[in-house]
Amino acid sequence: MNDITIVGAGHAGLAASVCLQKYNIEHCVLERGQVGESWRSQRWNNFYMNTPNWTLNLPGKPYGGNDPDGFMAKSDFVKYLSNYAHDQDIPIKENIEVTHAKFLDKHWHLRTNDGPSRTRALLVATSTYQHPHIPACSNLASTAILSLNAANYRTPDALPPGKILVVGSAQSGMQIVDDLLYAGRDVILSTGKTGRVPRRYRDRDLNYWYDKIGLMDRRAGDLQDPRQRWSGQPQISGWNGGHTVSLQKFHRNGVRLLGRYAGFDEGIMHFRQDLRENMDAADRHSKKFCRTIDNYIKAENLEFPPDTGDDPIHDPIKDLNVIPEPNQISPTDEGISTIIWATGFRFDYSWIEANAFDKYGYPNTIRGEASIPGLYFLGMNYLHTRKSGIVYGITDDAKHVAARIRDYLKTD
């Protein structure tokens, strides 16, 4: 029996293990696939990290390469995690899925595909983004259209000839459109209301500014709606050295833009006529972000180069009315062969039998510590702050949770 079992060998589970080792706490990490499984099996081939290399600062291993401002390809990030697990001697058991967990008689009882086990404490590091979410009104089973999502789309070459409809214009949708365009594919994009941000502003990456202006440290209580904890991330890309992406750029590069997808019915796809609103919302977000930085620089009396403007390809489209905006199309008549749903990811903790979740099913914790004895979470969005859900924020949270686990195991 272990003192503590960690479920999940993504960066959060690995960071937790390293922090527990510091206290000599006996533990193991159970992983249903391999180390970094989400990056291996839920990202497309050409995926690049959106966050620059300098944000990769796992406990005991800050980024030490010679390209701190670059962006890692997913294969390099998987290597980075695997090397970390190896170098730090992390006790991982791969290909073991935990299917049920319940606290009984001072222990957590786990069911796994390798049989039952017991542990004094349980740390869940299975991410906010677990399963691709497809809108309920999207059953295309009656058509010959290939239906993929942001987690199982791999490469443009694997798609049949014909047009590709991407549904969703948050981070993944925009990056997938970029990938398809680069391969010369004919793309239609159904847009939603997502912000965009410039990749660089006043000589710094946006993540530098997120940190400086306090966005990385935002708490869940600062959000207007608790569901914003897992809402779509602003449009940006780390591919090809990192660059700004925008609906304007896609329009100018030949992508046909539509409003928000509203459903499929008797061979017809329906869309809202809100493209202009969606473009405006993205631009407003970008402008607000830049003004906040300007104000910060001014208030702090800092020296940064002036704004030189982004590539004019992102400039507003003067006469938006030139873009026809149908409220329905027939995918067959349009020659659409493939639909890629980039409509977000969802979490599912239903395998944990405990009264430890809010009305959305999200863990109720104080910085990762649930009110149920011996139950901890790590790596989820806004567990403590906004950066809790990305690599950049994991070290502080992992240290905190490991210290709480040490105290629990001492007193239990």
Ligand X SMILES: Cc1cc2nc3c(=O)[nH]c(=O)nc-3n(C[C@H](O)[C@H](O)[C@H](O)COP(=O)(O)OP(=O)(O)OC[C@H]3O[C@@H](n4cnc5c(N)ncnc54)[C@H](O)[C@@H]3O)c2cc1C
Judged by the rule CB under 6 A, the positions of this chain that interact with ligand X are 7-13, 30-33, 37-38, 49-51, 97-98, 125-127, 129, 172, 345, 351, 379, 389-392
Please give the torsion angle defined by the CA atoms of residues 261, 264, 269 and 272, in that order, rounded to the nearest 10 degrees: -30
The angle subtended at Cα 182 by Cα 195 and Cα 246, nearest 5°, is: 15
Q: What DSSP state is assigned to residue 251?
A: H
The residue number with the shortest CB distance to ligand X is 10
Which residue type is seen at 51?
T
Residue 127 near residue 10, CB atoms below 8 Å: yes
Closer CB to ligand X, 19 or 30, in the complex:
30
Minimum distance, C-beta of residue 280 to ligand X, in the bound complex (Å): 25
Helix (H, G, I), strand (E, B) or coil at 130: coil
Q: Which is nearer to ligand X, 23 or 54 (CB)?
A: 54
Rounded least distance, CB 297 to ligand X, Å: 25
Dmax over CA atoms of the chain, in Å, equals: 68
The closest of 140, 131, 173 to 44, measured between CA atoms, is 173
Residue 213 CB, nearest approach to ligand X (Å): 18
What are the angstrom distances between the C-alpha of 17 and each of 90, 96, 123, 395?
6, 17, 10, 11
| Residue 236: closest CA among 319, 306, 310, 128 | 310
In whole angstroms, give the CA distance from residue 52 to residue 62.
13
Rounded least distance, CB 103 to ligand X, Å: 16
Q: How many CB atoms lie within 10 A of CB 136?
A: 7
CB nearer to ligand X: give 100 or 106.
100
The label of the residue with tokens 């569901």 reads: 227
Nearer to ligand X, 230 or 264 (CB): 230
Our CB check for ligand X shows the closer of 282 and 391 to be: 391
Q: Please, what is the minimum distance in Å from the beta carbon of residue 345 to ligand X?
A: 5
Helices (H) and strands (E) in the chain, counts: 9, 24
DSSP SS3 for 353: strand
129 versus 376: smaller Cβ distance to ligand X: 129
In the complex, minimum distance from the CB of residue 93 to ligand X, in angstroms, rounded to a whole number? 9
Residue 35 near residue 83 (C-beta atoms within 8 A)? no
C-beta of 25 vs 35, nearer to ligand X: 35
Tokens matching residue 11: 């960066």
What minimum distance in Å lies between the beta carbon of 170 and ligand X?
Answer: 9
Nearest CB to ligand X, comparing residues 223 and 323: 223
Go through the chain and tell me how many residues it has: 412
Smallest separation (angstroms) from ligand X to the CB of 14: 7
